[in-house]
Amino acid sequence: MRCKKCGRAAVINMRQYKLALCETHYVGWIQAQTERYIHEYQMFSRDERVLVAVSGGKDSLALWEVLLDLQYQVDGLYIDLGIGGDAGYSDQSLGKIRQFLAGRPTAARLHVIDLEEEYGATITEAARLTRRGKAKPCSVCGLIKRHVMNRVARQGGYDVLATGHNLDDEAAVLFGNTMQWQIGYLARQAPVLPASAEGLARKVKPFCRFHERETAAYALVRGIDYLYEECPYAVGASSIRYKIVLSEMERNSPGTKLQFYLGFLRARKAGAFEGAAETRPEMRPCRMCGQPTTAGDQCAFCRLWETVDARRSSQ
Ligand code: Q46
Ligand code: ZN
Ligand code: ZN
C-alpha cells in the first residue's frame, strides 16, 4: 500500500475515506483534521486555556500532543484514583504520563490529583464505604472525576476541559443510549457541551471523529508509549460489547460508525431531541466546596465524602 500523497510506503489505510498515508502525511492529516473539528464545532480558540484530562492511554496522550503541536495553550490533568495498589493500574498510568512528558521538549504543565492523599480514600474504598458500587466503583468514579476536573479547571482559570474520547467511544455510547431510548442522554451527547453554570468550563472532545485505530496508529508513529490495559473495572462493561458489535459492522461496511455518529449529530442539530433534555433545577453553589450544584446546598461530591468519613469512623 502506497501513500496517496507521496507514493512512499503507507502506515495506515483508512478504508472509509479510501485514503492510505505514509508516516509524515498521516501525522499532518491527524493535525489538520483535529484543527478542522475544533473550528467546525467551535470548541476553543488559541486565546483560551485548555485542560486535557489524561489517563496514560493512547487517546488522551495523543490529544495532548496534537494540541501542543498546534500551539494551543494546553495543560494536563491526571486524577490518581488509586486503582490496583502500588505498581497497579493507576501507578502505571501516571508512569506513562511522566514518561510522555520527559520525552517532549514542550514545557506543558501536569496537574496530579491523588484522591487518597487529598480526600482520604481510593475510588475502590470510597465505593465500598458508600455502598454505591457493589462490584464496580464506576458510578462513584464518574461523579468524582467530573467534580475534580471542574475544580481544577475553575481554580486554574481554564476555559475548556478536553477529553480524548474517540469515535469508537462516542458510537458505543450512542448505541447504548439508542438501544435503551435514553432520550435525555441523547439530547446531551455532543462534541461540545457548553458550561452548565457560571464558572464551569465547557467540555469538548476534539478526537470524536477519529477511529480508535487511527489514534493508536498516531501514537505508534509518534513513539508515544501508552498503557494498553483498560481500567480493570472496565471488564464486562456494556460499552465494550457495543464496541465489538459496531466494529464488526464497520469491518463489513467501512464508514458505518462515522455515518451513525454524524447522522445523529445532524438529527440533533435539526432539533430531533429538542425538549428532551430535562429542565434542570437552578444551580446554586455548594456550601462546602462552592461548586455549582442542582442538589440543594450540598453537592453530591461533598455528600459522598461525608458518608465515607461517617462510615469509616463507625467501623
Ligand atoms: S469509570 Fe470505572 Fe472507568 Fe473509573 S472505575 Fe475504571 S472503568 S476508570 S472510564
Ligand atoms: Zn506521504
Ligand atoms: Zn460540594
Per-domain residue ranges for the chain?
45-279
Predicted local distance difference test score (pLDDT) of residue 69? 96
Q: Give bridge partners of residue 39 from the DSSP assignment.
A: none
Superfamily of 45-279 according to CATH: HUPs (3.40.50.620)
Please write the tens of the pLDDT for every residue from 241-287.
999 999 999 999 999 999 999 999 999 999 998 887 666 678 889 99
- Name the residue with the closest Cα to ligand 1, atom 1: 138
Q: Which ligand is nearest to the CA of 144?
A: 1
C-alpha dist (Å) from residue 242 to 248, 258, 262, 266, 315 = 10, 15, 18, 22, 40
- Is residue 149 pLDDT above 90, yes or no? yes
Q: Where would I find the beta strands (DSSP E) of the chain? A: 12-14, 19-21, 49-53, 73-80, 110-114, 160-162, 192-193, 202-204, 284-285, 292-293
233 lines ligand 1 (CB under 6 A): yes
Taking the alpha carbons at both ends of the chain, their separation in whole angstroms is 64
| Rounded average pLDDT over 219-234 | 94
Tally the C-alpha atoms within 13 A of residue 47's C-alpha that lie toward its C-beta.
Answer: 0
User: What is the DSSP-derived secondary structure letter of residue 282?
Assistant: P
Q: For ligand 1, atom 7, which residue shows the shortest CA distance?
A: 234
Q: pLDDT confidence of 306, banded at 50, 70, 90?
A: very high
Q: What is the pTM of this model?
A: 0.95
Ligand 1 binding pocket includes 137 (Cβ within 6 Å): yes
Ligand 1 pocket: which of 141, 148, 165 to mutate (most atoms within 8 A of CB): 141
Query: Angle at the Cα of 267 (from 265 to 271), degrees rounded to 5?
Result: 110
Sequence letter at residue 8: R
CB atoms inside a 10 Å sphere around CB 72: 24
Cα 292 to middle of ligand 3, angstroms: 8
Read off the pLDDT band of 314 (50, 70, 90). Answer: confident
Q: Is the CB of 142 under 6 A from ligand 1?
A: yes
CA 280 to chain centroid, in Å, comes to: 24
Evaluate whether 12 touches 26 at the Cβ level (below 8 Å): yes
Give the E-state strand segments of 241-300 in sequence order: 284-285, 292-293
Beta 292-293 vs 284-285: how paired, if at all?
Answer: antiparallel
